Amino acid sequence: MMGMDEKVRKTLAELGVNDAQGVEWLFAELRKTAERERAELISRGAPDQPQRERLCKALRDRWLARKGGFLSQVDENWLKPAGKDLKPVVGRQFNELRRFTPSLEIEKLVEALPLQQEASHPTELPLGSVAPRPAPRDLTLPGLRRPLGSIHPVTRMQREIEDIFLGLGFWIEGGPEIESTYYNFDALNIPESHPSRDDWDTLYIDSKTVLRTHTSPVQIRAMEKYGAPLYIIIPGKCYRHDNPDSTHSPMFHQIEGLAIDEDITFADLKGTLDFFAKKLFGEKVRTRFQPSFFPFTEPSGEVAVSCFVCDGQGCRVCKESGWIELMGCGMVHPQVLRNGGIDPDKYSGWAFGLGVDRFAMVKYDINDIQLFFQGDVRFLEQF
């Protein structure tokens, strides 16, 4: 958390304070800090007279110095640059603060501050003596209220996607983020020689344990746990050996879908994903399926949706192509079903995997994935 030293050097705008309530909280926090620092000094005391004078002067300078004291910084950085709408409330609070600081009697502390012979550490007190009383608390001071937060855009996106599939009868399944190479790779038909298993792509904990690179291992875990039929979606964090840039993050969010039942065909996959795209981006979007390759599905495809901004005409969001790539998908490979303990002669299934962060970037028109993870309140409070 940002300390008061840092806060008084920033403007209200930089602190993300943009309403009267916020200003009042900030000044209340400032007054509390002053009281706390004074109380702490008194409870510590000073070893001797010169030290007593030095400590008291330091506290006085910190708060009241004409140049660089907290009060003058508040004047300079909060009051002066405040916008027209906030200026009256900041001015009022600043005047109250100026009336409040003399009551701290920082100037008189030099006489009041106990020397440590008198008020030493309790364990050093002679037996039977009375420990110094702590400075009394002022219970009439306003409390510190924390402003209500909002739902993070990635969580918001995830919940929106979850809701669509919950409505179709799917349920939500989770699994560990620290995963064995068996569940992350082998059981999904990804052979030892596959480049995605390389150190350059995957974060290894040891030779048999990784930070999962996708949510797909939960497919196998769920097949083992529940058998067929199975209709689940799997949201969660994944990790790859990527350098952070505007489109990459070593940690990101995926949602995977899996449907296994008798007589499931590619038509079910197309129908479901087309319904999903229309629910999420609007009834008029169209979906496009193109062949692709993944080790754990056969056949495999890539799904794109016609741009919901320009309706396929070409714009900045779809990079002038008219289409937005959504996800990879395909029919679950028979060997993967077998690895999950399901008979591929009786059951078939489809699966898809999508990046939640990318969905949120497209939907909310955000051009840098890093914004999601920097915790900047000014960005987050827009959602």
Binding site for Zn ion (CB under 5 A): 307, 309-310, 315, 317-318
Minimum separation from the CB atom of position 285 to Zn ion (A): 11
**294: which residues sit within 8 A by CB, 6+ positions away?**
300, 328, 330
The strand order across the sheet containing 204-206 reads 178-180, 209-211, 204-206
Identify which of residues 203 and 309 has a Cβ nearer to Zn ion in the complex.
309
Minimum separation from the CB atom of position 249 to Zn ion (A): 24
Minimum separation from the CB atom of position 320 to Zn ion (A): 7
**308: which residues sit within 8 A by CB, 6+ positions away?**
281, 282, 284, 285, 324
DSSP H or E segment with residue 209? strand 209-211
Minimum separation from the CB atom of position 355 to Zn ion (A): 19
Identify which of residues 317 and 371 has a Cβ nearer to Zn ion in the complex.
317
Identify which of residues 164 and 317 has a Cβ nearer to Zn ion in the complex.
317
Minimum separation from the CB atom of position 371 to Zn ion (A): 21
d(CA 270, CA 304): 12
Q: Angle, to 10 degrees, between the axis of helix 87-100 and the axis of helix 20-44?
A: 20
Identify which of residues 78 and 308 has a Cβ nearer to Zn ion in the complex.
308
CA 248 to chain centre: 16
Residue corresponding to tokens 């390759």: 293
Minimum separation from the CB atom of position 370 to Zn ion (A): 24
Residue 229, preceding peptide bond in cis (omega within 30° of 0): yes
Token pair belonging to 103? 């009551």
DSSP code at position 362: H
Rounded to the nearest 10°, the torsion over CA 312, 317, 318, 321 is 80
Give me the helices (H) in 282-355, please.
334-339
Q: Which residue is nearest to Zn ion (CB)?
A: 307
Identify which of residues 20 and 317 has a Cβ nearer to Zn ion in the complex.
317
Token pair belonging to 4? 């008061």
Identify which of residues 39 and 309 has a Cβ nearer to Zn ion in the complex.
309
Minimum separation from the CB atom of position 247 to Zn ion (A): 18
DSSP code at position 143: P
Identify which of residues 259 and 318 has a Cβ nearer to Zn ion in the complex.
318
